[in-house]
Structure 1
Amino acid sequence: MDMPSAQQAIACNKDAWDQSADLHKTTDTWSALLRAVANPGFSCLDPTLTGVLQDIGVAGKDVVQLCCNNGRESLSLLGLGARSVVGVDQSRAFLQQANELAERSPYQPEFIESDIHQLPERLQGRFDIALVTIGVLGWMPDVALFMQHVASCLKPGGSLVMYETHPFLEVFDPRAQNPFLPASSYFQREPFVLQEAIVYEGQAEVAGPTSYWFVHTLGDVVSAAICADLQISHLQEYAHSNREELYDQYEHQPAQLPLCFTLTAIKQSA
């Protein structure tokens, strides 16, 4: 089958996210979020990401979260003491959820509807920290271009903070008869073609619109940051999973796989 252009993949992915949004509001997780965000100390960030942000010094900083989904992590940043938070996402449907959560919260982040590749001029050079979390890189056809857009939001001396799935995990199919047997190449360049709704709870597949998932090696990610004039200051790999419950089976193995990583990088002065 013919692979889509980057622009076609981005458009298909946007449509898939918009169409999946309602599925996320029928879960116990959503009901719990609506209650939890009213707490000024609310945070959905795990100890790993919380520690990295505290080491960077998130308190009192201006932060942008790129691909913020329903805004729960953006609200968490304000709970950690960020001075201001802007959440950016291309899915209008998920930003509606973000605003619904913000209405229940004591905090007021700003949410902006924008494709990462078409960021508004007013975001350029504005932020001390740019946050990128789980499940962002795989939707990006070109990780080097993505990093350039991330860097464009930062002030000189500002920091990218990333907490992502380890790309090595992508070689395994957690639903396979033997989920520990590599099912695809770590160096695969063609995207996975998905035809299921984008949901993160439960193991059942639900049919949905076509979307495209791209695999970038850890070397790709590091090189992309360097080429965007971001100086790597921290890179750590972990044996715990930060994605769907389906991947928990890869934890606590005798021969442990790398399951996720954190990366921080500082924008160099012009």
Structure 2
Amino acid sequence: MTVSKSVKEITSANRQAWEEVAPIHGKENQAILLEEVRQAGYSCLIDVEKERLEALNVVGKDVAQVCCNNGRELISVKNMGAGRCVGFDGAQGFINQGNELAQAAGLDVEFVCTDIYEIDEKYTRKFDIVTITNGVISWMPDLEMFFKVVARLLKPGGCLFMFEQHPLLNMVQPDEGNKLIVWELSYFDKDPYVETEGLDYYRGEKYEAKPATTFSYTLSDVLMAGINTGLDLEFIEELPLHVSNIWKNVEESGFGFPMSFTLVMRKKAPD
């Protein structure tokens, strides 16, 4: 797949910023995770994820996770009985953490460091399920091209399972400790956002960071990008569940704000 210069420049810069935070996140949680994954049946998945994966008959299925971070979610899927499991991420630091966790768990899980838009052709049509979780979509400068990558990875008849934060959250300023709801952006805002104070979403540590560019998409943007790629919508559910660490003000507001969604889209099988 040919990647435009602008997309390549953005993803390359974002990978550097993501690489920079890997040791910070590793220091925060890797030792704890190494102990946890050694426990039989380890899972970091919440009930919503488990139920949807069970409905997709994940046992024995070949699964890829795109933007897999440290691999703990993919390890959890493997523990559900999945077959071949491969995680793709842009930062070697997180790939190293994933390999370390898989080894500690005694599981055969493969991790690959790559620009997500340039995943090797050898993985084309190799997976029954591709999973995407919290915070991935906003990193993608070209959403439709991203869905083309996902569709390429899927076998005919395979499906995408997404569990993501709801794009409506982008309208509200993250919690700054005062629990106030402050409206910040239009739901339809398309201006890229450049972060230079770091990507530590565990403790919120600020540091002089390499720039990371993120993008705002509406829920219809996400759906249409998948549909335009030839994927069929099979299931969608909006949820009040908070799946990030930065909008506790919205979570505790009692407004009934949609904070996440699950989505299943399926690649057409040949007649």
Normalising by structure 2, we get a TM-score of 0.93
How far did 1:124 drift?
A: 0.4
SS of aligned partner of 2:27: coil
SS of aligned partner of 1:5: helix
Match of 2:209 in 1: 208
Distance in 1 between the 2:129 and 2:250 partners?
31
How far did 1:51 drift?
A: 1.1
Q: Is the 8 A contact 1:241 1:247 kept in 2?
A: yes
Q: How does 1:181-260 map to 2 (within 5 A)?
A: 181-244=182-245, 246-260=246-260
Q: How does 1:52-131 map to 2 (within 5 A)?
A: 52-131=52-131
Q: Is the 8 A contact 2:173 2:184 kept in 1?
A: yes
SS of aligned partner of 1:208: coil
Distance in 1 between the 2:151 and 2:61 partners?
16
Q: Is the 8 A contact 1:137 1:143 kept in 2?
A: yes
Distance in 1 between the 2:158 and 2:187 partners?
31
How far did 1:178 drift?
A: 7.3
SS of aligned partner of 1:207: coil
- Return the letter of the residue paired with 2:103: E
Q: Is the 8 A contact 1:87 1:112 kept in 2?
A: yes
How far did 1:6 drift?
A: 2.2
**How many residue pairs were aligned?**
265
SS of aligned partner of 1:26: helix
Match of 2:153 in 1: 153
- Return the letter of the residue paired with 2:221: D
Deviations 1:46-77 (A, max 9, x none): 11111111111111100001111111111111
- Return the letter of the residue paired with 1:243: S
How far did 1:265 drift?
A: 0.7
Distance in 1 between the 2:127 and 2:6 partners?
31
Distance in 2 between the 1:101 and 1:14 partners?
21
How far did 1:240 drift?
A: 1.4
Q: Is the 8 A contact 1:39 1:106 kept in 2?
A: no
Distance in 1 between the 2:211 and 2:119 partners?
25
SS of aligned partner of 2:168: helix
Q: Is the 8 A contact 1:18 1:92 kept in 2?
A: yes
Relative to structure 1, the CA distance from residue 178 to residue 250 in structure 2 (aligned partners, 3 Å threshold; closer, same or farther) is closer
- Return the letter of the residue paired with 1:208: A
Distance in 2 between the 1:254 and 1:62 partners?
40
Greater Cα offset, 199-208 or 139-148: 199-208
SS of aligned partner of 1:196: coil
Distance in 2 between the 1:240 and 1:94 partners?
26
Match of 1:12 in 2: 13
Distance in 2 between the 1:202 and 1:112 partners?
27
Deviations 1:3-31 (A, max 9, x none): x932221111000011111101221x322
Distance in 1 between the 2:58 and 2:250 partners?
31
Distance in 2 between the 1:100 and 1:196 partners?
28
Deviations 1:187-240 (A, max 9, x none): 111211100221121244333111101111100000011011111111100111
Q: Which runs of 4+ in 1 moved over 6 A?
A: none
How far did 1:179 drift?
A: 4.1
Normalising by structure 1, we get a TM-score of 0.94
Distance in 2 between the 1:204 and 1:94 partners?
18
Q: Is the 8 A contact 2:157 2:269 kept in 1?
A: yes
Q: Which runs of 5+ in 1 are unaligned?
A: none
Deviations 1:240-266 (A, max 9, x none): 10011x312212534221100000011
Cα root mean square deviation, aligned: 1.6
Distance in 2 between the 1:191 and 1:35 partners?
39
Distance in 2 between the 1:192 and 1:24 partners?
22
Greater Cα offset, 172-181 or 79-88: 172-181
